[in-house]
Amino acid sequence: MKNFVSSHTYHHLNLDARVKPNRARVKLNIVDKKDPDTWYMTFSKNKVDNFVTYIQRGQEKLTASIYVHVRGDAKLSFAKSGSASCQQVFDGVLFAAGNEQMQKLNAIETELEGDDLLRITIIPSDFWYTNSRSQNAHYAGNKVGFRFVMRDREDNLFFSHDPMIILPDWEPN
């Protein structure tokens, strides 16, 4: 029997909105719209796999925003909410779980600022303090995976792999 060893390096973009609102602009590079393995995000020419966000409970005005601009040969635009399924309650993204719960608890907000520009805003919310079993997570953080949902001119939908929004363990207020 052969043993295989693999190693993966993940690149996180850190957004700290504990003192003042924070925002970052990233590029979603799409080489082949039908192959999500060729999709990747960059920030200042550096690859980004996930977003680590620091926000403070009770500070709803201190948000972290990610502006995502699409680049690539294919003329793709972000799909509006409801395009992929009734579970897609946000423009441009479909979360792996908790779409309606995040909307209900005002944890995420998205806005199409153009066909190729999407704003994702992470808002301090009780959602980030609740674990998957709906128990209060006191200071524990939370994380959620999502897929970008793109539409071509013929209304075909395309999905990225799952980047994550990660909120590390909370610090006491």
pLDDT in tens, the chain (173 residues): 566 665 556 788 999 998 999 999 999 999 999 999 999 999 998 999 999 998 887 787 899 999 999 988 778 999 999 888 778 899 999 988 788 888 998 999 999 999 899 999 999 888 887 655 555 555 556 788 899 999 999 999 999 988 888 887 645 44
Q: How many CB atoms lie within 10 A of CB 136?
A: 9
Query: If we measure between CA atoms, which residue out of 64, 62, 118 comes closest to residue 90?
Result: 118
Residue 72 lies in a domain: yes
Residue 56 lies in a domain: yes
Residue 1 lies in a domain: no
Residue 65 lies in a domain: yes
Residue 146 lies in a domain: yes
Provide the whole-model pTM: 0.85
* DSSP symbols for 81-146: TTSS-TT--BTTEEESS-HHHHHHTT-EEEEEEETTEEEEEE---GGGGB-TTS-B-TT--EEEEE
Q: How many CB atoms lie within 10 A of CB 99?
A: 21
d(CA 154, CA 156): 6
Query: Structurally, how many domains does the chain consist of?
Result: 1
d(CA 161, CA 35): 10
Q: Which CATH number characterizes residue 33's domain?
A: 2.60.40.420
Residue 136 lies in a domain: no
Domain span holding position 146: 12-128+141-166
d(CA 23, CA 17): 9
Question: Three-class SS of residue 36?
Answer: helix
Residue 23 lies in a domain: yes
